[in-house]
Amino acid sequence: MENPSEKAPARWEGLPSWLLAQTANHAHRLVTDGFSSVRARGYHYRLLATLEDFGPASQAALGRRSGIHVSDMVATINELADRKLVERAPDPSDRRRNIISLTAAGRRQLRRLEEQLAERQDELLAPLSTEERQRLTELLSRLLDHHNRRTGAPEEPSR
């Protein structure tokens, strides 16, 4: 909505799809602002976390594991490599391919991003109790799993 102070028409204000979309907008803004405060983007977090969870990998493997499209992967790696958060090295088994590794500075940046995420989750879910937060997460996970299975979409990596 252009003016958030205006009330949505009752016809749709209680629809779960509308409520989810509006909440997703707030969640995206909060996380984007948090990452921006430490000079990062969502792709940076996804790539750094994937490297920490799975170890060094080729760009193709990182793309599959992180869900970052190949067209965005090179730019993301370049941004992180320029800041010394990841390193590229030739793959000893195939010199045409690079292996991407997480650096110590990359691990420190990942900790900062995780702190930002935790703060933003708290901000997003502020009106909910711990039990309500857990239940909401369970319900959203169930919905996402259902629709991923239905559409054949790959399951999102657990985080």
Which pLDDT band, with edges at 50, 70 and 90, does 147 fall under?
A: very high
The angle that helices 16-36 and 104-124 make with each other, rounded to 10 degrees, is 140
Residue whose C-alpha is closest to residue 118's, from 69, 45, 39, 9? 45
For the entire predicted model, the pTM comes to: 0.83
pLDDT, position 158: 43
Residue 5 pLDDT greater than 80, yes or no? no
Structure tokens, 120 = 């933003």
Residue 1 pLDDT greater than 70, yes or no? no
Count Cβ atoms below 10 Å from residue 44 Cβ, excluding itself.
22
Say whether 159 sits in a helix, a strand or coil. Answer: coil
Whether 100 contacts 88, CB under 8 Å: yes
Which pLDDT band, with edges at 50, 70 and 90, does 9 fall under?
A: confident
Distance separating alpha carbons of residues 150 and 135, to the nearest angstrom: 23
pLDDT per position as a tens digit, 17-40: 999 999 999 999 999 999 999 999
Q: What average pLDDT score do residues 2-22 get?
A: 80
Residue 8 pLDDT greater than 80, yes or no? no
